[in-house]
Amino acid sequence: MGMNIVNRYTGAVIFSAEAESMGKLVAMAVLSKANLSGAYLPGADLSGADLSGAYLFGADLSEADLSGANLSRANLSRANLSRANLSRANLSRANLCGANLSGAYLSGAYLSGANLSRADLSGANLSRANLSEADLSGAYLSRANLSGANLYEANLFEANLFEAVLTNAIGYCK
């Protein structure tokens, strides 16, 4: 079946192909090195997809299911991932600078070396997430759940941790 990925701002088609699902279409687009900046993918089922190195700057992935997905080295800066399921996702070295992850579910996610500077993680569940060497400078973590998270050498300079839960979090921060 022919499917399209459209730009969230203009509605223009940015990638089109025959695919069985939106997840397979996005994986095909990433494999072909398509520029998916501004992609409109709210609620998409991308669970387990290999999106490593994807260019999703400013994309709308709100409420998307990215559980177990590989997003290592992906550019998700300024993307909307609010209320998305990113449990057990690999986001190592991903660029999430200025991204909206409010209310996102990142339990058990691997975010080692990720850039989360100025990201909105308010109310996000980061329990048991690996944030070692992540840049969280200026991030908004109000009411975020970081229980059991690995914060070894994470940069939390000027991060807002108001009412954040840090029970059993491990590591030391820069």
CATH of the domain at 82: 2.160.20.80
Q: How many domains are there within the chain?
A: 1
pLDDT tens, N- to C-terminus, the chain (174 residues): 799 999 999 999 999 999 999 999 999 999 999 999 999 999 999 999 999 999 999 999 999 999 999 999 999 999 999 999 999 999 999 999 999 999 999 999 999 999 999 999 999 999 999 999 999 999 999 999 999 999 999 999 999 999 999 999 988 655
Residue 44 falls inside a structural domain: no
Residue 95 falls inside a structural domain: yes
Reported residue count of the chain is: 174
Asked if 96 and 74 count as a contact pair (C-beta separation under 8 A), the reply is no
Predicted model pTM? 0.95
For 113, the 3-state DSSP assignment is coil
Domain that holds residue 90: 51-174
Residue 148 falls inside a structural domain: yes
For 174, the 3-state DSSP assignment is coil
| Alpha carbon distance 111, 28 (integer Å) | 24
Run of H or E including 16: strand 13-18
Residue 27 falls inside a structural domain: no
Spatial CA neighbour of 6 closest among 34, 33, 45: 34
Residue 92 falls inside a structural domain: yes
